[in-house]
Amino acid sequence: MRQVLAGVGLLLALCDAAIADQGMEDSRRRWSESPHGPMLERILPPGVEAAQLPSPDSPGARLTTRYCVQCHNLPSPAMHHAEKWPGIVDRMVLRMRGRGNMGKLMSEMMAGVKAPGEFEARALLAYLKRNAQQRLDAKAYPELGQPAGEAFRIACRQCHTLPDPKRHSASEWPAVVTRMQRNMEWMNRVVGTRPVQGEPQLRVEEINAFLARYARKAD
Ligand code: HEC
Ligand code: HEC
């Protein structure tokens, strides 16, 4: 009996996932085919899939994949530190309720946009805060103010708070830094800037060396 129940549970979970995927697909199609698609495409980099969200089956992750892909790519909770999320979620929820800024664009886009209720909005925010980027404690990293920490300090706080090196082990960091490099290329492509002479380039080796020194010890 238990096995049957587990089987039914699995089936329901699969259906749920299929419906969620379909919902994401529908959302993406709506905004990518809108005349404003190119502008909306630029708001957040692509690359985070629903399955890569922290605790992907939790109610908070599901709310994020239901509501937060209706106008742009899926946001990652780690994109901002906890204190930053309430203001952003407020701004987004107002938009979904048709009371945001960017009037005309948003009113066209609003056709078919679903807004979370109070309870859902609170659960969504709690999820984003719980899984937010951990801000680094600068006092714990005296090297930050010195040349050895400079490449990391300058490059890695452009889009979010300076991340804590303890978030990953030394062997995990290089892949994360490579992804950030892609996020940066995406942003440069989107904004259309060319590297200006003298502009700090991403000094990947220095950044990885700094992170490796302070990384979480591998278990
Ligand atoms: C109705 C359309 C719409 C929906 C739905 C929406 N957003 Fe946005 N979002 C926007 C627009 C437009 C911008 C760019 C302007 C701005 O930053 O306010 C944006 C920008 C962002 C940014 C980048 C700006 C920043 O401050 O980092 C994040 C992060 C974000 N949204 C998160 C979310 C989250 C989380 C949700 C779900 C709770 C969500 N969005 C749902 C329209 C939407
Ligand atoms: C162009 C903007 C941008 C820059 C610059 C940037 N990041 Fe990120 N970062 C993001 C975005 C977007 C996310 C969420 C999506 C993701 O994880 O790719 C993120 C998420 C993260 C995360 C949480 C995800 C995880 O896997 O732990 C860490 C840690 C991180 N960044 C570290 C860094 C480091 C280190 C640098 C400097 C080399 C850096 N970031 C520079 C945009 C950026």
What is the torsional sign of CA 78, 115, 63, 71? negative
Nearest Cα neighbor of 187 from 75, 72, 31, 45 is 45
Which band of pLDDT confidence, cut at 50, 70 and 90, is reported for residue 12? very low
Which residue owns the Cα nearest ligand 2 atom 7?
A: 180
Q: Which of 19-28, 36-45, 56-65, 123-132 has the lowest mean pLDDT?
A: 19-28
Residue 178's pLDDT is what?
Answer: 92
Residue 21's pLDDT is what?
Answer: 63
Residue 71's pLDDT is what?
Answer: 87
What pLDDT digit, counting tens, does each position of 59-68 carry? 999 999 999 9
Rounded distance, CA 90 to CA 86, Å? Answer: 6
**Across 84-95, average pLDDT:** 94
Which band of pLDDT confidence, cut at 50, 70 and 90, is reported for residue 45? confident
Residue 184's pLDDT is what?
Answer: 83
Rounded distance, CA 52 to CA 162, Å? Answer: 22
Report the residue among 180, 205, 207 best suited for mutation to probe ligand 2: largest number of ligand atoms under 8 A from its CB: 180
* Residues 110 and 98 sit within 8 Å (Cβ to Cβ): yes
Comparison of pLDDT for 127 and 187, the residue scoring more: 127
Rounded distance, CA 138 to CA 144, Å? Answer: 7
pLDDT over 70 (residue 4): no
**Across 35-51, average pLDDT:** 80
**Across 119-140, average pLDDT:** 94
Q: What angle do CA 25, 113, 58 make, to 5 degrees?
A: 60
Which residue owns the Cα nearest ligand 1 atom 43?
A: 71
Rounded distance, CA 15 to CA 32, Å? Answer: 25
Q: Please return the burial class of 125, using the count of CB atoms within 10 Å of its CB with bins 0-12, 13-18 and 19+.
A: buried
**Across 120-137, average pLDDT:** 95
Ligand 1 neighbours (beta carbon < 6 A): 43-44, 67-68, 70-72, 75, 79, 88-89, 91-92, 95-96, 102, 106, 109, 113, 124
What pLDDT digit, counting tens, does each position of 165-211 carry? 999 999 999 999 999 988 888 876 655 555 555 555 678 888 999 99
* Residues 82 and 129 sit within 8 Å (Cβ to Cβ): yes
Ligand 2 neighbours (beta carbon < 6 A): 45, 47-48, 76, 78-79, 133, 155-156, 158-160, 163, 167, 176-177, 179-180, 183-184, 187, 207
* Residues 136 and 162 sit within 8 Å (Cβ to Cβ): yes
Tokens coding 113: 């946009």
Which band of pLDDT confidence, cut at 50, 70 and 90, is reported for residue 103? low
Ligand minimally distant from the alpha carbon of residue 91:
1
